[in-house]
Structure 1
């Protein structure tokens, strides 16, 4: 009977699911079965308003006080957390999830621990912690035995991948989900994957495709009053904005604002973008009344978002912060009441703009100066190293007498040696180090497609030993080791080879063994702290001076 309830509930047949829940609870009460009565209360709260649902959960808490086992009270807290989450009270939701997780661990109930972890992952996603959320979603997608949880895991993982720019991985999961939704003929899931497909297209800047898919999703979700309709509207508006169709963007954002006012829901922090866009739009139109209206809407929504998304609000840059908007609000009110004040407002506004532009100019110049200093230091260090190398070749030294200096080994040094000895035999370590010298001397690191596996195969060892030697002897992992060799080579060659400096970025990347210019650019910036263009520019200056 419970399965039938969830089948109806998942297919938006609330009337049928509510009747089943009511029948289930009444039968459990007649049978005086407290466990089933508890299940009945859980089923009943699904289709109710928050106050009524909380009464059912309170009844659940009372009826389970004396039930033995490891389900309660952990399940009660998790149920309450889900209710708050569904109704946009994230703070209360998190508090209850944490309590549910605590009791699940105390009662050693792994199933409820997993559910709590998944629920907290949803909050992490909500707060913009996509990498942490994706890690949990990915694990449970492929490890959970609960088929009911697999599709929500897939959907959430897709959204994380899109936010993390892992579009290929997102596309694979979207196709999987679409196929499953078509087979099951689940309209909700079909619309959900239309929405995700629209997000995917938006990320790829295929805005017309995005609008098409998102509109399909919006038509369905709006027909059942599902909150996903607001997400669809938001991204439709963003797509039109990206296409420079301001009127269509504003039309969708106005509809979104109307929906939010009806439900009193502020579901996601990106709503700030909606109001700043509308404020700017009506500022361009010189429509002071509507500009003022949307500033007031922004302030109201922003207050709730700050309460709900404390973690996220500190990380997201705000185009308009509340104090400035309050000041602008007062200026506009005065402007509407007294047109003569427009000159003073304009002067103040221009001063703020000039100050802001001055600040940006100063900051950009300071950053430019720092980058030039880094580039000059790199060039000087490389030239100095080359000079020392040439001088060393000229000087003929007799065979040096190596003096053994007795030093007292530090305890931590002994520990490190012991660990290394246990991990990789000394003779193998020396063999690998010699092979790495050859690898570096012959500049074999410039070949494309080098991996730890391929290098280990070439020098006739295994990846475990190779990685261990590089980690312990070179002090870095294989990827960093390879990138450092390539970037050091590039730094030297760019100084010495004028023709190489004239290459396009893609050509330089290919010369160094990178598959694309983005990988090279990221590696160069990570290693040096500056861009390639800054480095080349400073070399040219140095040569011309």
Structure 2
């Protein structure tokens, strides 16, 4: 009986859906192609997926029946929206197959722009970048100013992805001030992205001005999606300016709206900022609740973003504190999975963006310089001479840089091998230095090195305290001085200094620094999570006041640089 009722319910639902669609299709028959295009984009931009799909299907069917090639092309463009990746690519391929017959200077650049945006939406930044660069090349060949602008903007967003926020701001500001070839919707997108980018570079006043303008305009025009997008940015602004209660209030409103309308990308960033606001408000459970929901969306969509590392790191620490080992292990695995994806995307874009995008721009600048020199022949030889000297200088510095980099790599590789084998000369030397000598050796060393008279009992006591200091890793504490440590050992600083100089064979500052660097060398190899921290955090955990002091101490002690050491560890463990 229940199954019969269920059957009638499905039949009723189908009839209702079919009737509604038929009414809409019958209504569409009275519109021409331009009116249908306007309706399609209106539905699409307001997230009315069902209605936009019906119009797209009707439009393509009508164009094919009339055999109007240009409208068939637009029909393929409409159909590639709101589909799964395979279906969308199929429609773009169909568009490409007829593009030669269109006699339209938007092609073939339009095809690559569509593919690039599609891959970007499906979190494949590698293919997105490749397609945007090809689109830019074709757009320049056809001198299509609008497509050049669109490609430039998309590449600017990728620059933001890898943290080049100043470059992103520069490009967005240019097109925000030069909107001649852009639509109103393009400008709205730029304004939203520019507001976000201003926050990234701490230009809070500029960000707030754009956000307020956006909120007012969206409110006047009843643009609900756009209003909520600006509300996210207002929430982020309040988070960054430490107004956490306002941030939470704004972001909770956005969260409800985006969840209701299945806008996963916006939902994720809303909950990211919301979680961070709750952390700052000391509401750890609320923060974890939002981060857990982000993970569930990521598993559903497979769309990652760079800040996810912070999400999973927080959840790992959260469940560690709660002593829930199962969930801690789960989020460690999730972190490693996502980290691998992000690392792959980041490295690719960081490497290829300058090569494929910045290099052609530099070549164009070079071409302009040469043309200018041809017009001003008086400066030709001097200009070429300067250019040659610059190239020689660049070549020399490049050679030196490569030579230094190879040297740093070799040192880093040797250090890593020594950590794994636990037989390095440094470790052996440290073991010998930690050994408490015999009375005869003490007497010998006191005769040779100690200026002041120190009793043997006092020496032994200080050596035992130093052993405790090293074994318990107390050297990682901040603000350690010779005086403070002597006070902790219940001795005076002169005695402590003499013992360190004699038995550690170095002054106190070098002794403390070497302990910290040796600890860093081992932990960076053994602890991937520790390696993923920002350098400021690593430096702080090691007891240094700032990142620069740590990096300088690391290089002085090891002979290589910290960035190279971490890079070599990552490569050796891939």
Partner of 2:236: 199
Whether 2:127 is the aligned partner of 1:92: answer yes
| Corresponding residue number in structure 1 for 2:283 | 245
> 2: distance between equivalents of 1:367 and 1:31?
69
Report what 2:485 is aligned to: none
Q: In the TM superposition, what whole-angstrom CA distance separates every residue of 1:119-139 from its partner, at most 9, and x where no partner exists?
A: 111111222211111111112
**1:167 aligned partner:** 204
Aligned residues of 1:101 and 1:117 also touching (Cα < 8 A)? yes
Give a deviation string over 1:313-357, Cα, whole Å, max 9, x none. 99xxxxxxxx9xxx9xxxxxxxxxxxxxxxxxxxx9976996658
> What's the counterpart of residue 267 of structure 2?
229
Deviates more, 1:66-75 or 1:38-47: 66-75
Rounded to whole Å, the distance in 2 between the matches of 1:183 and 1:368 is: 53
Q: Match for residue 421 of structure 1?
A: none
The aligned residue for residue 166 of structure 2 is: 131
CA contact (8 A) 2:129 2:349 kept: no
Match of 1:53 among 67, 72, 88: 88
- By how many angstroms is 1:68 displaced? 2.0
Q: Please state whether the residue corresponding to 2:128 is helix, strand or coil.
A: helix
Alignment equivalent of 1:263, drawn from 301, 311, 315: 301
Partners of 2:178 and 2:73 lie apart in 1 by 28
Query: Who is 1:209 aligned against?
Result: 246
Displacement of 1:263 after TM fit?
Answer: 1.7
CA drift of 1:176 comes to 0.8
In 1, Cα distance between equivalents of 2:131 and 2:475: 46
Aligned mates of 2:231, 2:165 — CA distance in 1: 21
Q: 2:330 matched to 1:293?
A: yes
Q: Does the CA contact (< 8 Å) of 1:144 and 1:150 recur in 2?
A: yes
Question: In the TM superposition, what is the alpha-carbon distance from 1:281 to its structure 2 partner?
Answer: 1.7
1-structure distance, mates of 2:547, 2:230 = 47
Instruction: Give the equivalent residue in structure 1 for 2:218.
Output: 181
Q: 1:352–1:287: structure 2 CA closer, same or farther, 3 Å change rule?
A: farther
TM superposition outliers: structure 1 runs of 4+ over 6 Å: 311-314, 348-353, 365-371
Give the Cα separation in 2 of the matches to 1:124 and 1:83: 18
Confirm or deny: 8 A CA contact 2:126 2:349 kept in the other structure: no
CA deviation profile, 1:220-255 (whole Å, cap 9, x unmatched)? 111122111000111111111111221111111111
Query: In 1, are the aligned partners of 2:274 and 2:287 still within 8 Å (CA)?
Result: yes
* Local SS of the residue matching 1:309: helix
Q: 2:54 aligns with which of 6, 19, 22?
A: 19
Q: How big is the alpha-carbon RMSD for the aligned residues of Structure 1 and Structure 2?
A: 2.9
Q: Which SS does the other structure have where 2:100 is aligned?
A: coil
Shift of 1:287: 2.1
- Shift of the 350–106 alpha-carbon distance from structure 1 to 2, 3 Å rule, reads farther
Shift of 1:79: 0.6
2:310 pairs with one of 273, 290, 295: 273
- The 1:15/1:155 distance shift into structure 2, 3 A limit, reads same
Counterpart for residue 64 of structure 2: 29
- Structure 1 residues 353 and 15: CA distance shift in structure 2, 3 A: farther
1:35–1:64 Cα contact (<8 Å) kept:
no
Write the deviation string for residues 455-475 of structure 1: whole angstroms up to 9, x where unpaired.
Answer: xxxxxxxxxxxxxxxxxxxxx
Change in 2 beyond 3 A, CA 1:154/1:295: same
Contact 1:34 1:64 in 2 (8 A): no
How much has 1:198 moved relative to structure 2?
Answer: 0.2
TM-score of the aligned structures, taking structure 1 as reference length:
0.58
CA positional deviation for 1:264: 2.0
Pick closer, same or farther for the CA change 1:13–1:370 going to 2, 3 Å: closer
| Cα distance per residue 1:266-304 (max 9 Å; x no partner) | 1x1111011111111222222222211111111011111
The answer as to whether partners of 1:127 and 1:311 remain within 8 angstroms in 2 is: no
Distance of aligned partners of 1:289 and 1:365 in 2 relative to their CA distance in 1, 3 Å threshold: closer
Q: 1:252 and 1:23 mapped to 2: Cα distance?
A: 41
Deviates more, 1:255-264 or 1:76-85: 255-264
Distance change in 2, residues 1:107/1:279 (3 Å):
same
Looking at structure 2, the residues matched to 141 and 23 of structure 1 have their Cα atoms a distance apart, in angstroms, of 36
Instruction: Name the CA distance, whole Å, in 2 between partners of 1:353 and 1:178.
Output: 52
Following superposition, the deviation at residue 30 of structure 1 comes to: 2.1
Name the residue aligned to 2:18: none
Counterpart among 242, 256, 263 of residue 219 in structure 1: 256
Q: Secondary structure at the match of 1:65?
A: helix
Please report how far the alpha carbon of residue 67 of structure 1 lies from its aligned counterpart in structure 2 after TM superposition.
2.6
Segment of structure 1 superposing worse, 138-147 or 126-135: 138-147
Q: Is the 8 A contact 2:228 2:254 kept in 1?
A: yes
Q: Distance in 2 between matches of 1:296 and 1:225?
A: 27
**Kept in 2: contact 1:306–1:313 (CA 8 A):** no
Q: Given that residues 475 and 543 in structure 2 are in contact (C-alpha distance below 8 angstroms), is that contact kept between their aligned partners in structure 1?
A: no
Tell me the residue number matched to 2:37. Answer: 2
Match of 2:399 in 1: none
Partner residue, 2:113: 78
Measured in 2, the distance between the counterparts of 1:270 and 1:130 equals 15
> Is 1:144 aligned to 2:184, yes or no?
no
Alignment of 1:434-473 (within 5 A): none
Determine whether 1:104 maps to 2:139. yes
TM-score, L = length of structure 2: 0.56
CA shift, 1:66, in A, is 2.9
For residues 143 and 370 of structure 1, do their structure 2 counterparts lie closer, same or farther at Cα, with a shift above 3 Å needed?
closer
